[in-house]
Amino acid sequence: MSEFDLIRDYFHWQNPPDSVRVSVGDDAAVLSMPAGRELVVSVDTFNAGIHFPRATPPHAIGYKALAVNLSDLAAMGAEPAWFTLAISLPEADRAWISEFARGMRELAQQHGIFLIGGDTTRGPLSITVQVMGFVRPGRALLRSNAKQGDLICVSGTLGDAAAGLAVVQQGLELSVDAAEYCVQRLNYPTPRNALTDILGEHANACMDISDGLLADLGHILKASQLGAKLEHARLPFSAALLQLPLEQRLEFALTGGDDYEVLFTLPPARFETVKNAAAERGVLFTNIGKVNENIGDLQLDHGLSAKKQGYDHFSAN
Ligand code: ADP
Ligand code: MG
C-alpha cells in the first residue's frame, strides 16, 4: 500500500463544507474565512510512549489526537472549522490506520471540523494535529484576563485520566468498573466545545487542563498577575475517584494530566447563569476557589503542597 493509497482511502474526506475551496490532493488547501471573524490556530504533537501508552487502541489514538486540539479551541472560545494531520507511521498497517481514522473522523463529525490536508511519512509513531477555528474579533478567551474576585471554575470531574494512567502503568487498584471508567477518560477525553458560547459570553480567563490543575491555574495567575485560593473540598470527583483515599485523589486532580476539562474564571454575578446553561448541556460545572490580589500566590486549604507542579516535558524531575 503506497502513501497515496493511504491518503485516498483514509484521509481524503468527501463533501467538504463550503468554506473549503481546495482540500486534500493539491499542494495546499485553499480556505475561505467567514466575514467578521478572527482565525484561531493551535497545534499539538502526540508521540507514542510519551503522550499515550504504546498499547492504546488506534481508535482512541485517532480520537484523542483530535480531542486535545478541539479542547484548545474550546479554551479559546473558538468555534471549530478545519484541521490538518501530519502522521508518521512505522508501517502501513491497514487495520491500524483504518481504526485510527475512524476514531478521528467520528469525533470530527460530531464537532463539524473538516480535515483539509496533512503529511504522511514513515518513522516512529507520531501524530501532529493542527486545528483552526473562528472567534468574533477581540472575543478570544485569554489566560491573561482573570480579574480579582473572579470565581475559579472547572467543567467535569478532575483526576480521572491520571488515575486511568496509573491503572494502565502502575496497576493502581480500583474496582473493575472504576478502573474501566478511568482508562476510558484517559483514552476518550471530552473536549468541552459544548460550552464555547456560554464561556465566550461570561468567562474572563480560560484554558484547558492538560498538565494538572495546579500547573494550569498557575499559568492563568501568572498571565493575569494575580493569585488564588482553592478549596480542596469543592474539587469535583467521579464516583470512581471517590473510591481512593483523599490524599491520592487530590494528587491525581491537582498534579495529574490529561483531564481536558476547561478551567476558567468569571465574575461571581455570572455564576448561576453559567451553571444553569452548562447543566442544560449535561456538563457538570463547579466553583473550586477564588482569584485574589496576591500576585503569584496559589494557595490550597489542605496540607498537600500546592507547589507540586504538573507535567513539564523539560523539567529535571
Ligand atoms: P506534497 O508532496 O505536496 O507535500 P503530499 O504527497 O505530502 O504532497 O500530500 C498530497 C496531498 O495529500 C496534499 O494535499 C496533502 O495535504 C494531503 N495529505 C497528505 N497526508 C495527509 C494526511 N495524513 N491527512 C490529510 N491529508 C494528507
Ligand atoms: Mg507532504
Among candidate residues 293, 289, 295, the one with its CA nearest the CA of residue 222: 295
Distance 81 CA to ligand 2 centre (A): 22
Distance 193 CA to ligand 1 centre (A): 28
One-letter amino acid of 299: Q
Our answer on whether the CB atom of 265 is closer than 6 Å to any ligand 1 atom is no
Distance 121 CA to ligand 2 centre (A): 8
Our answer on whether the CB atom of 206 is closer than 6 Å to any ligand 1 atom is no
Rounded to 5°, angle at Cα 303 from 300 and 307:
60
CB 204 within 8 A of CB 244: no
For the chain, the residue count is 317
- Model confidence, pTM: 0.94
Domains and their CATH numbers in the chain: 3-135 (3.30.1330.10), 143-300 (3.90.650.10)
Looking at residue 314, what is its pLDDT? 40
Q: Which ligand is nearest to the CA of 13?
A: 1
Tell me, rounded to whole angstroms, the distance of Cα 50 from its chain centroid.
16
First to last CA, the chain: 43
Taking only the tens place, the pLDDT of each residue in 53-105 is 888 999 999 999 999 999 999 999 999 999 999 999 999 899 999 999 999 99
Ranges under pLDDT 70 in the chain: 303-317
**Within 10 Å of residue 58's Cβ, how many Cβ atoms?**
19
Cα–Cα distance, 20 to 176 (Å, whole number) = 45
Q: Which residue has the cell 464561556?
A: 199
**Test site for ligand 1: of 97, 120, 121, most ligand atoms within 8 A of the Cβ:** 120
Distance 214 CA to ligand 2 centre (A): 39
How is residue 52 annotated by DSSP? B
Q: Which ligand is nearest to the CA of 108?
A: 1
Looking at residue 1, what is its pLDDT? 73
